Amino acid sequence: MLSHRAMSISSIWEERLKSLGASERDTLLGTSLSRRFTKLPLWLSHPANIGAFYGMLVSLAIILPYKFTQSSSAWFSGWLFHSALLVAACLFLGMASVILVGIFKRFPVPPPRGILYPMPFIGFALLTIDRIDLLQIPSLISWFLLILPGPMYVHLSWAPRWRLLCMIEDGKDPFSDMASAPEDEPKHAEVMVGQDKEMLEVVDTFDDLEEE
């Protein structure tokens, strides 16, 4: 019964996707990372949960600098405390993104991957250098580089996309405003050419050719 229900839900999603244009499907599904999140239930793929998941991944990555640079009795408590703060901060930022996207109705935009993707590795390297006392690096810089990429991706890409998925789940068309744009093009053309009859005839000729 469970597999049959999963298949029916999948077929519903496929039918909804088929009714959308190519650009709308790309906007809805995004790149490979976002496509993985779209396969999850909406409650599980909530931007706050995705942010907390990123914080947990970063926490696991920084466990080695804490373990090998502090005494055996103190490293775990320090790592656990900072990990909890990291996860809570990313979760809070994800929730804030949901609220802002709900207010401004912003569509997803691709994040600057060339800038965001190296940041966690640079932050991890700076944190390690600071922990082994090779150089004195302000902790704010290391933690900023570690935290920023996940919440930035959630805010720019996933939170707006999650809002669109929720609208489709509720039976709404998130692209209804975009679909009405082509109907306004002839009006804009008339405004641009003004009362020039020759230009209006040229515009009408192109419209007739497109209809054919």
The tens-digit pLDDT sequence of the chain (212 residues) is 434 434 444 445 556 666 667 777 777 787 788 888 988 888 999 999 999 999 999 999 888 888 877 767 778 888 899 899 999 999 999 999 999 999 999 899 988 888 998 999 999 999 888 888 788 888 889 999 999 999 999 999 999 999 988 888 887 877 775 544 344 444 444 444 444 455 555 545 555 544 44
pTM score = 0.73
Domain spans of the chain, in order of start: 2-179, 181-212
DSSP state letter for 107: P
Spatial neighbors of 76 by CB under 8 A, at least 6 apart, are 66, 67
Q: Comparing C-alpha atoms, which of 17, 38, 3 is closest to residue 162? A: 38
Q: CA-CA distance, 69 to 91, in Å (whole number)?
A: 28
Q: CA-CA distance, 212 to 207, in Å (whole number)?
A: 9
| Positive or negative: CA dihedral 131, 94, 46, 121 | negative
